[in-house]
Structure 1
Amino acid sequence: MIVERPVAQQQESRIMPIPTIVTDRPELVAPFAAGPKVDAFKASRTSSSAEMSAASVNTLANEWRPSSVSVSIQEYPGQPGVFLNQFANWQSGTSPTNLDSRFGWEMEVNITNPNMSAGYRPACQNDYKDQFFAKNYSWYSWSVFNSDYGSVAATAPYADYNDLGDSCSKQSIAVGMKNPQSMPTSPNNPPYALVMDIHAPSGTVATNTIGALWQTVTKTYCSRWPGNGMSSTDCMGVEQTEYPDRATYVRPVLAEWRNYVAPDKCFYSDDYGTSDPYSPFPGSGC
């Protein structure tokens, strides 16, 4: 389950020179200005829980979670860094518009290094941001798109590189959406489909165990001062309002206890996360 933990009150500066061009992509989400997090609490990202039981699935009329999610984490010869891709699909009867209006979501791959020091960021050992196979800063590029319907700018995507309060031993590589309820429908892949790409620099560790999930995060703090002056990576999730339906506050994709190792790894999660994921998925090449 997602565990909420106090966030250290230290401030931490970052430099995020994310380029503004992604080739052969219909849309790139430009980087947001970096800034220190000032909230007292932030959900600590974890995917160590088991996938949900079938009994926890809501009726389709209320279901916001994608029915299927495929994830690819790969390195390519001659290309620097690590490519993390997610593709999500909502089958008929499910919709991002079903998400409670006070919430957005974050789509993440969590990388674990058990050799890291105990505790929470930024009170970690030196170079703690680099002790994983991928870095959560200075990304080469990131994008959220779907070629069927073009722009998803109305959803207000953001790079979630603010990791204050996360465990020293876990690196969360994530992109969020402030307003996923505004996602347009897809004419060729109905009713909704979404692709997320992150090209991150390599860290100093060759491989790590991984997990993956989608989680709901509050957006109410972003609409008033001082949150309305912050980038989404800093204001999202500050207020800890409990999601009204606790059975659907998170969409499991891969539990960490399965000990999947990446890169290179591809896996697929069906049935809203209630079925066992499997790897590789057809045509993945992993």
Structure 2
Amino acid sequence: MNKKMNCAYCAGLLALSMGLLAPTSANASGTVMQQGQAVGSARATQGLASDELSATFAELEFAHPVSLASATSLSTAAGLEIQGYHFISDSIIGDYWLDGGLTVEEFLANVSKETGTAPEVVSAYVSADDFEQSRELARGLDGPLGADLPTFDAPDADPSLVIAPKKSKAGAGHQEAARATSYTWQPVDAEVMIQGAGATLSISAKYSWYGLDPYAGASAMADHWGMEFQFDFYTSLRPHLTPGDYPIGYGTRPYCGNTTINYKDWAAASTRPYSWFAWVIAGPNIVVAPANLGMYGDFNDLSDPCTVSTIAVGMAQPTMMPHSYGDEFLNLYLYPKKGNDAQSKVGAIVQPVSRSFCESNPSMPLMDCMGVTPGAYPGPGPSSSRMVLNDSRNKKAPNLCWYSGEFGTAAASFWDCSTVD
């Protein structure tokens, strides 16, 4: 994938690979483009009808890739306040949010430390509601966003910086890596570190697939399905809301009652939009261009339980993961703002989510359409989620670090990570 492609082209490739019409591109003159966003659970099964769904954010395309420092020199697009930025290159993908708790310098330092590269910003986020209201006024009033900003070409990521999670072992002699019993989309291993880092939490999550007979890899996922890498923070601030004691719908977001502290901030991790980035390595040292994987940040928490704050990143098109005939690694780094709880009980899963509603509504952002259509995952591979940490272990974060091997069937092992590296 040519890193000079614009974001509309990225979206178009994803749509074509999914058999869809490409969504309309967006720029400062006022047309909407699609990129990534998501919700972790099927909203249609949680009381929110599909015809009630609407986009959370609109994306406005830059004229060409720009550096994050250049992008943040613009405060408005199409007359609307910019809230965040989406970036994608041959090496990494992610989002940076202006009110996400990290300065530009802090975020760039994190990206450089983990990957050796930097973000190429391709679009800006604005409120979808505000954009729809101002669409006609904005049309034709501005030229392409950032046309006068210098084009930025980031260096390639450095695969030598990848530290893969240790491999699962089977048998008393630990002589053989654990194998899947059939083709599976589930990661074999997962290693997670949740630490405090100033105004934010730092969630580092590394997933690995390996095994050829039978095959274990993200591309084993069925067509029309994606997967989400999810971390649930159970708040101790508010009691469980029993549906029988409240009006229908109460107890799921946004129907969480009138409280001094917003429900998004109840747990140790806030569900307000958070900065994140990801990269994928196939085989020993091949950095995979992430454009075709359709990765998105999960910022839409409508219909999630009031007492559970979910932080997640999704992959809408895992079937586009290259076959490495060996190890495949996905490294995620998420930085949600700290919430009110000093610590929260944590659970974590990788779950299959339907892409059907996105295919029927190609202009809907991924954050808002993934997982809407109910139904069980049909296979190949298990229909259930891959357990990364069972919340029944009552482990709290921050600071919490653990390793989960053997497709989540073995008990997780933990280590002390009370100091940030």
CA deviation after TM superposition for structure 1 residue 31, in Å: 7.2
Q: CA RMSD in A?
A: 3.2
Structure 2 unaligned residues grouped into runs of 5+: 1-40, 58-82, 85-94, 98-106, 130-177, 242-250
Q: 1:185–1:191: 8 Å Cα contact kept in structure 2?
A: no
Between the aligned partners of 1:162 and 1:212, the Cα distance in structure 2 is 18
CA deviation after TM superposition for structure 1 residue 33, in Å: 6.3
Matched, 1:271 2:388: no
TM-score by length of 1: 0.79
Higher RCO, 1 vs 2 (CA within 8 Å, ≥6 residues apart): 1
Counterparts of residues 130-141 of structure 1 (less than 5 Å)? 130-139=265-274, 141=275
Structure 1 unaligned residues grouped into runs of 5+: 37-56
Q: Which residue pairs with 1:197 in the alignment?
A: 333
CA deviation after TM superposition for structure 1 residue 114, in Å: 4.0
Identity of aligned residues (%): 25
Between the aligned partners of 1:181 and 1:8, the Cα distance in structure 2 is 28
Between the aligned partners of 2:124 and 2:276, the Cα distance in structure 1 is 9
Q: 2:265–2:340: 8 Å Cα contact kept in structure 1?
A: yes
CA deviation after TM superposition for structure 1 residue 121, in Å: 0.7
CA deviation after TM superposition for structure 1 residue 104, in Å: 0.1
Instruction: Please give the secondary structure, in 1, of the residue aligned with 2:415.
Output: coil
Between the aligned partners of 1:124 and 1:12, the Cα distance in structure 2 is 20
Counterparts of residues 1-286 of structure 1 (less than 5 Å)? 5-8=45-48, 17=84, 18-19=95-96, 22=108, 23-24=111-112, 25=115, 26=117, 59-76=180-197, 79-93=198-212, 94-116=216-238, 118=241, 119-125=251-257, 126=259, 127-139=262-274, 141-146=275-280, 148-150=285-287, 151-185=289-323, 190-224=326-360, 227-245=361-379, 247-280=382-415
Code of the residue aligned with 2:207 in structure 1: it is A
Between the aligned partners of 2:179 and 2:235, the Cα distance in structure 1 is 34
Code of the residue aligned with 1:121 in structure 2: it is R
* Offset from partner CA, 1:99-133 (integer Å, 9 cap, x none): 11110001011000144251111100330001111
Cα gap change, 1:102/1:58 in structure 2, threshold over 3 Å: closer, same or farther?
A: farther
Query: What is the aligned residue count?
Result: 258
Q: 2:229–2:314: 8 Å Cα contact kept in structure 1?
A: yes
TM-score by length of 2: 0.55
Code of the residue aligned with 1:236 in structure 2: it is M
Q: 1:112–1:209: 8 Å Cα contact kept in structure 2?
A: yes
Rg larger in 1 or in 2?
Answer: 2
